A and B are shown apart, each in its own frame.
Chain A
Amino acid sequence: MGLFILRRVGVMILTALCLTFVVFFMTNLYPNLEKLAKTQGNFRMSDEAVASWLEKGGYLQSTPKKYLEWVGLAPSYQHVADDGTITGRCITPGMDPAEAPRFCGILQGYWGYSTVFKDEVSSIVATRLSLTGTLMFWVMVVMVPSALILGVLAGMKEGSATDRTLSTFAITTTATPEYVSGVLFIAIFSSSAVGLKWFKGTATSAMESPNIENFLLPVLTIALYGMGYIARMTRASMTEVMTAQYIRTARLKGVSFPNIVMKHALRNALIAPFTVIMLQFPWLLNGVVIVETLFNYKGFGWTLVQAAGNNDIELLLGVSVVSVLVVLITQLISDIGYVYLNPRIRIS
C-alpha cells in the first residue's frame, strides 16, 4: 500500500510538472509576451522597445530556463541596466539587489503579480478559491446525497416504474449543460418576464452573505449536471450488486427487502460511485467556470476567465497550477480510496 501511494504520488508530480510546463509554454509564446509588453508599457511601442522591455523582464530566455525560474528550481533572472542598476523578479523596488533571494518561484511562495487585479496572485487565488470552496461545498451537499439516493432507488429493482422514471430524469439532467439549465432557471425563477421572482438571477451578493435566495440557483445548476451521471453510475453498480449470489441467498433466507438493500447491497454498491464522484471534480471545475460567469459570482472560475481573457500571464499560471493540482489530488484520493474500500484489491 505504501509503495502504491508513493508511486501514484510520483506519477502525480510528473503529471503536474508536464501540465504546468504546457501552460507555461503556451502563455509565454512570443505574441502573448508582446501583448503583455504593450499593455504594461504603452500600445505604440516599436518592436525594439518591446524587445528591450521583454529583455529587461527576462522574458527572452529559453522557455525551459524561464520555467525552472518560475517553479523556483533555478536562480532568478537579474537584469543589469546600462547604468549598473540591477532589476529582477525577486527584487522588489527599494530592495538592495545583494540581499534579494536568489530563487523566487512557486515553490518559494512567489506566485507573481496580477496585471489585471493589481494584486499578488497568491492572495487573489486564495480569496477566490475560498469563495468557490463555499460554492463547491454546497454543490456537494446537494449533489452527492440526492444522486446516491436516486441511483439506489432506481437500481433496487431494475426495470420497475421507479427505475424508468428516475433513469429518464437522470438522462435529462446529463443532457442539460450548465449554460442551458442556468439560463432556464434564471428565466423561470428570477426574470420579470415570467414573474415568479423567487430567487435572484445573480449571485454577486452571495459572496458576502450566501443565502437561499441568491445561492440556490447556481448551486442547483452545477449540481444537476453532475448528479445525473453519478446517479446513473450508482444505478449501474446497484443493479449489478442486486443480481449477485449473496443477495439471492439473503432473499431466500427471508431477509426483508429493505434490510437487503440497506445492510447487504448498499456498501458494495457505493464503491464505484465513490470513484466517480472524485473523478467528477474536473468536470465540476468546468461547470464552476460557466456558472460563475453566468451568475456573476466572482470566484475561482470567474478569475480564470478574467485572467485568460486579459492575457494576465502570471495569474493564469497561478490559476492553472491550482486547478491542475485539484484535479490530480482528487484522482489520487479516488485511487487510494478505491483500493481502501475494495477489500478484493486491498488484500491482494
Chain B
Amino acid sequence: MDPLSWTGSIAFLNPLLFAALGLLAISILLWIVIGAVTPENRAITNEGGTLSLSAGPQGLAALAVRITFLASAVILLAYVVLGLVMGTGAGIIGAISQRMLPVWIALILLFTLSISFKRRLGLYGKLFDSPIGMIGFGLVMFWVFTGIFGAFDMIVTHDSLAQASGMKNKAPGTPLRGAEDGDFAWYLLGGDNLARDVFSRMVKGAWEVVKIAPLATIFAFMVGITLGLPAGYYGGKLDTFLSFLANLILAFPVILLFYLLVTPEIVATGLPQYMAVVLFAFPMVFFGVLLNARYRTQPQKNLIILAVVLVPLFLMYMSLINAAGSKIDFWPLDFFDVPGGILVVFVSVVFVNSPTVFRIVRGLTMDIKTRDYVAAAQTRGERPWYIMLWEVLPNARGPLIVDFCLRIGYTTILLGTLGFFGLGLPPESPDWGSTINEGRKLLSVYLHPALPPAIALLSLVLGLNLLADGLREESLRD
C-alpha cells in the first residue's frame, strides 16, 4: 500500500481552487474599497415614472464577489463529488469524502425537503431565505450528522481507542502496517502520539459534543426560564434574591468552578449529584406548571395529560440521578446509568449557563409584561403562571431561539475547555478538547493530531453563530 497524498488524481483542481480563492479575496477587497470611496447609488426616474437604482461600480463589485464566491463553492463541491466517486483514488480528501457518504445523503435530503416546503415551516423555513443562515445551518447539521452516524460506527475507519503498531505520530495518509482484509488500509488523518486514528477520533468527538451540548443547553434553558419568568413578572424581593444568586454564579471564574466541581474528591462527596437533583428537577417543574396552567379548568383532562407527561419524566429523572454505588442509590427502577464523569460535566455546564439564560428571560419578561395583551389577560382574570407561560414566553421566543443557538456554541466551547484541562471526561475520551490538549504537546513537530479537532470545533461553533445570525435577521424581518 502506498501512502495517500492529499488530493491524489484530482490534484488538477488545486490551482483552480487557489485561483478562485485569490480572486474572491481580491474582489472582496475591491468591494470594500469601492463601497467606502464611491457615493451611494442614486435613484433614477425612468420613463413612465418608475424608479430604479443606477448601476455603479458598487454593483459590479458585489457581482464579482458573488461570482467568485460561487466559483469557489463549485470547486469545493467538485472535490467532494469527485472524491465520492473516486474514493482513495482522489487521495485523502477523496477517501474522507467517500467515508462521509451518509452525511452527504442526509444533508442533501434535509436541504431539498426543507427548501421545497420552506413556506410552510415558519421561522425554520425562513432560515432558507438567508444565505448566512443556510451556511451556518449546513455546517451545524454536517457535524450533527457526522456525530450521529459516527456513533453508529458508520463513518469511522478504525476503533477510536485502538492503537496500531508503528502508527505513532505518522503523517496523514500513511498506510496501516499489516492491515488485514476488512480493515481500512490507511490512517486518513494520521496517527496521534498513542498511535490511534486521528480521523476516527475526530468523528467520535463530534458525537461527544452532539450528545452533551444541546441537551445541556436545553436544561439550562429550563432552569433559566422557570426562574426568570417569575423574577421578571413579579419583581420585588423574589427578583432581588434570584438576581443576586445569578450574579453570584456569574461572578465566579468559570475555570475555578470547574476545578472545584470536577475533581474526584468532590465527586466522591456526591456534591455534583446533589446539584443534579436540583437542576434536573426543573424540566419536571417546567412542564408540570406549563400544562397545569393550561388545563387547570378541565380537571379530568388535566390529570391525564399531566400523568402522561410527568410520569415518564419522573422515571427518567430518577434513573438519571440514581446511580448504583454512589451517594444516591435507593431507587429500584434505574433504567440507565450515566457515567459519573459525564454527569459531572453535564451538571457543571448547566450550572454555568443557566444564570445567563435567567438574566435574558428576566429582561424579556420585564419588557413584555407591559404589553397590552398581558394587560388583557390580566383583565380576563388569568392566573399569573398562565400569563407567564402562555402569553409572555411565546412572545419572547425570537430572542430565546437565537440565544439558544449561540449558547449551544458556547457550551461546545465550555466542553472543549473542560477537555483541554482534562477535567471530568475520561482520559482516553475522543472529545475535541482532550484531543487538542494531547496534540498541542507535540505541536511544533507534528501538526496533524491537534489541527483536525481544532478546525472541527471552530467550524461547528462558527456554524452555530452564523445560524443564530441568520435566525436573528429573519425573525427581525417579520
A residues with CB within 8 A of B: 11, 15, 18-19, 22-23, 26-27, 29-32, 35, 157, 160-162, 165, 171-172, 174-177, 179-180, 183-184, 186-187, 190-194, 201, 282, 285-286, 289-290, 293-294, 301, 304-305, 308-309, 311, 319-320, 323-324, 327-328, 331
Contact = CB atoms under 8 A, between A and B. Distances in A.
Interface string B441-477: 0011111001100110110011011100100000000
Contact of A324 (B58, B251, B440): B251
**Secondary structure type dominating chain B contacts:** helix
Interface of B: 28, 31-32, 34-36, 58, 61-62, 244, 247-248, 250-256, 259-261, 263, 265-266, 268-269, 271, 409, 413, 416-417, 420-421, 433, 436-437, 439-440, 443-447, 450-451, 454-455, 457-458, 461-462, 464-466, 469
A282 B250 CA distance: 9
B401 to A, nearest CB: 17
A233 B454 CA distance: 26
26 contacts: A15-B248, A27-B260, A162-B32, A165-B32, A174-B465, A175-B409, A177-B457, A177-B461, A179-B454, A180-B416, A180-B455, A183-B451, A183-B454, A184-B451, A184-B458, A186-B443, A192-B444, A193-B446, A194-B447, A282-B251, A286-B255, A304-B256, A305-B259, A305-B421, A324-B251, A324-B253
A201 B455 CA distance: 19
A171 B266 contact: no
Given A32-B265, A177-B461, A193 B445 contact: yes
A271 to B, nearest CB: 18
Instruction: List 9 A-B pairs, minimum CB-CB distance, nearest first.
Output: A308-B259, A31-B265, A161-B35, A175-B462, A175-B461, A161-B31, A177-B413, A26-B260, A180-B454
A186 B28 contact: no
Contacts of A290: 255, 417, 420
Contacts of B447: 187, 191, 193-194
A15 B252 CA distance: 10
**Secondary structure type dominating chain A contacts:** helix
Nearest to A301: B255
Contacts of B61: 161
Contacts of B439: 183
A164 to B, nearest CB: 9
A201 B437 CA distance: 15
B462 A172 contact: yes
A308 B250 CA distance: 20
A323 B260 contact: no
A184 B444 contact: no
Contacts of A23: 256, 260
B265 A165 contact: no
Given A191-B443, A193-B446, A286-B254, 13 more contacts: A171-B462, A179-B440, A180-B457, A183-B451, A191-B445, A282-B250, A282-B251, A286-B417, A293-B420, A304-B259, A305-B421, A323-B253, A328-B251
Contacts of A186: 440, 443-444
